[in-house]
Structure 1
Amino acid sequence: MKHIYLTISFLLVTFIGFAQIPANYYDSANGLDGYTLKTELKNIITSGHTDQGYGGLWIAYQTTDIDNTNQYDNDGFILDIYSEDPDNPEPTYLNFTYGSDQCGSYNSEGDCYNREHLVPQSSFGEASPMKNDVHHVYPTDGYVNGGRGSFPFGIAASGGTTYTNGSKRGSSLVSGYSGTVFEPIDEFKGDIARALLYFATRYENNVDNYTSFDMFNGSNDQVFQDWAIDLLLDWHYNVDPVSQKEIDRNNAAYNFQGNANPFVDHPEYANLIWNPNPDIQAPTVPTNLTASNPTSNSVDLSWTASTDNVAVTSYDIYVDGTFYVSTNSNSTAFTVTGLSPETNYTFTVLANDDSGNASTQSASANETTLAGSSSANDLFFSEYIEGSSFNKALEIANFTGSTIDLSNYTILRDGNGSGTWDSGITLSGSLASGQVYVIANASIDASCQGSTTIDLSIPQSNTPTNYNGNDPIGLFNNGTLIDIIGTFGGGSSNFAQNTTLVRKNNIDSGNTSFNINEWDQFPSDTCTYLGSHSTTLSVNEINLSEFKIYPNPIKGNLLNIEVKQNTRFEIYDILGKKILKGNVTPTNSKVSVSTLNKGVYILKLNTPNGSITKKLIKS
């Protein structure tokens, strides 16, 4: 799929007192795009490139990577992207002196600095000139360098290893990759992205052989996996555009080895190569929307599918003009739940494609819910964790208004979706209304337990806490199924592998037919929400002190949304059209709003405890 990224052009100002990158250096690339442009850039930056050897990198760093700018500390020490804190002076033990602090051995941060190959040496067999190319070999703390190893770059979940300046290693939060990743701080994400784009271009003739690096896909045109190129383009354009220090480094590198990084000089080249024809066509409007089969708290919707020049990927559903949910699929039917009894509702639907294009909203459909109570009448599953190794946990919630005797309840497993409840446990004790009961594998990581009260006493062998992502789990009351995760008898296909599912807060009862749209999905080993659950709250019941949103009005292209737990954000224009959406975490709060025009918008923040809206102004 094609994606749209903001392209920013820079006027190059050179302060290095040596030979400058010639004004006509890129002239032969003018008018080209796609992989034809990439090949011509390869020809340009290969010509004149002189391999200065592995030892020559130490010499290069004297001009390429000394902190001699007010952008950072201007202290004359090595500028280390794994140690530098752009907001605060580094501890003195992280100040590396050129020529005297080269690694050697190391046992902790600050022992020495090393030559970090952003594309790991193991992927290209330590061959030259790749091994010695200063454009992708940066001086970094040896200990952090060793911790990064050969892992790909990405967005890392909490609970891994975090280094002094905030760089970290952990499970991937990037859609499309589930392994371990290394995440630098935002300040240097663009630097790293441009170094990798340079490598893919300079070594185009060989890079299709470097498949041991998980970011590469074994081709010499796109080079990167789909998830990786999306990540790198986002870092390049939105998270960390080219800085003056990077321009200075590029000029110094040109003086050292005779070639330049074209993505520093011309940031627009990245889009021209990897996204030359962005998809800007919106899907058609959904038609024939019908609302039917009302209950006291739900209404069924169905509609005729939209069409798109590439593909429709999801539908957004609105209830009374307010965004309700994105279906995360191209299904043309959905059950809206969490409604109030004896209430008339108006529904509309719009279609999305993978490039962020959205149709206008459909014609509306109306339906009135039946009489009755919308409160839960029994227990239900509120969370499911199917993580790495023994990280398995099930959470059951009580919102019935009464304390429940758990001895009447059992949890059974349908191993491999075979259609047989093959093992189970009987619960014990009682559960007060508004509380949850958690059972977990006895060997679950301590980081997943936190302060949560978890029942680890249940024998683990051959029980539902020994499940995988293809084992449906059922909750029974006196032998009657009242809720299920997965499809009984559905076969061995995975429905929730390496996934955390949290029941949406507008769901207040079980469902004997598994519906993934009732659940929010999170990456493997996400334990943030375990131990508490809430049904739908009003805006006034969410504490605004849990969020810090600034600047507002927004004067630049970045909005900070500081949160205490993983939070989904959505930004709407004043007509109710969703413009942006994504996730923020306690360690990743920056949101690019470069695509927003000046005006007034609505920010909606969604957590498992409820949601809140706030007006934004882009000035």
Structure 2
Amino acid sequence: MISMKLSQCIIKLGFLVFIPGLSGISQAPAGYYDGTQNLEGYPLKAKLNQIVSAKTTSWNYGDLPAYYEQTDKDHYYENDGSVLDMYAENPAGADPYNYWYNNNSLIAGASNEGEGWNREHIYSQSFFNSNYPMYSDLHFIVPTDARVNQRRSNFPFGKVGSPVFTSLNGTRVGPANMPGYTNTVTEPIDAFKGDIARMLMYVAIRYENLIPYFQYTNIRNPIDSLSERAFKSWYISLLLQWHQQDPVSQKEIDRNNAVYAIQGNRNPFVDNPQYAQAIWANLPAGTAVPEQPYQLNAAAVRARHITVSWPYVQDPDVLGFEVFINDIKVGTTGQNEFTFHHLEPATSYNIKVRSYSHSYVKSPFTVLSSVTTLSTDTFSRDLFISRLIVGSGQNKAIELTNNTGYEVDLRDYYINIRQINQSTGSLYWSSNKLQLEGTLQQGRKFVLLNPLAVLSCFSKDSADILSNATQMRLDGKLAIELAYSNTTVDRLGDPSANTDYAAHKSLYRKPAVINPNNSFDTTEWDSYPENYCEGLGNQAEEPPTRISTVNKSNEFYLYPNPNYNKVLHIKGNLDQVKEIKILSLEGSIIQILKGPSNGTIRLPGNSSGLLVISINGKGYPVLVY
């Protein structure tokens, strides 16, 4: 393998030389980036999010030091196996100091450089509230000198004017010297600017859907509330500049492969550097006001939720919709419907929706006034924990059930656990909550599983989340809870005590219990022996309805059909999906969706009866109740 110093000398010569092992770009498994062909801008970013978010494994923050021996050893500069620290490495000569993984030099803090190393979140953990899975994501958490890490604090990376601190390898901290931002920033040395830019761009891809829940009002946070664009406008040009000036190195290629083996996903900008330009280089800048939604319809009104829908908006510049209830913005959606939830029964609400364009120009509001929730219904108040497995070893699992009557957006739900101070014995809630992702359909279950579990009746492939976060190392003595935002929804155990409620047991909620309980009640649960897991998760789905017998590349299946929850799934070669039309039986267009498809069709909330789903011009009947 060519040394990093030699590769930098070649770059300085100003011409390109082919050297085996250096010129190749990181190789992802065949098919890993399927579906990205011919995409650019926000559609490419959204597709990459689907790819790098699927079936990942989130390890514990305490696991990272051991993994660094696979991801962050110096095989490139001194080639001595020391800790590869971007805040201490001197690419052109001897390092000012070195750390070794076998000499217990991991420390919490330091007064001077060279005293020890710790874990550095390149995207600062304060911006995502120190929540899992971000808290332990190896793709952007690296070993660095503890003192330089402290001086960096949570300042964004940028160009420094006059530094107030310079590390021994030249990393600088001081007021910014760059357009759009004048506060304190941290500037790495040139050899690692591209590495850091690509780590930050990975965060914007992997956590696209969680960005609205980050602390974007913090002026130091370079990411704002806009899921699609992600970065504040002043930051994009800097990232692209660093990405181009410091190309992907062999160190990054090897690290990307190692992290993929550990947590199951990749950094797309290491594998395909051209993606950065394709997404952010030519962002829309139009000023035209987009078409506003019209004819808001209360498609479903229940005691605690209201689903509102509107006809398909034809304007191709519409990127999404902002939704408000009683003048409070509660979210955005790319669909033509939205469910407002956690409402009060028998209460009147005013709803507003407006569209926004690719350049974030907003339309006028469309208003739906005085929609009153029902006084009661047969649905659950909220999600609830339906099963808890506290088995031997790391056989730990939590099952959630959705009987709310609507598809639940999980992003504002958290699992948390009580912890014990070993010195004082006092109990406290973990400051590193496990934030959920994705959606959960009505009537379905969601399983969180420890990745080290070896349950005989439930496979890792069947889990919705694989996590070794603190919450998934539960002992059945310290209380655990499901929370919505900052409010407890469901709880097991006594938060004021460290006493056995589920140790070496499996607890199954009794079928008659359909609501969560923020105070643990043992009468709601049946207890089973250690490692019992029968029936955990969703039962096997009925075979999907076959809807086409054309050649294999154009063969699709839609399920469930008949459909009861307004959500259809497509199986087949999704890259071949160019256009989906939802039609009435008379042929009237209800909605048009452009491909490629993500495999899910959300039918308008007021859909019922026999519909025709047209995929690439071929129509297939679906019965909707």
User: Scaled by the length of structure 2, what TM-score is found?
Assistant: 0.40
Q: Could you say which structure has the larger radius of gyration?
A: 1
User: Scaled by the length of structure 1, what TM-score is found?
Assistant: 0.41
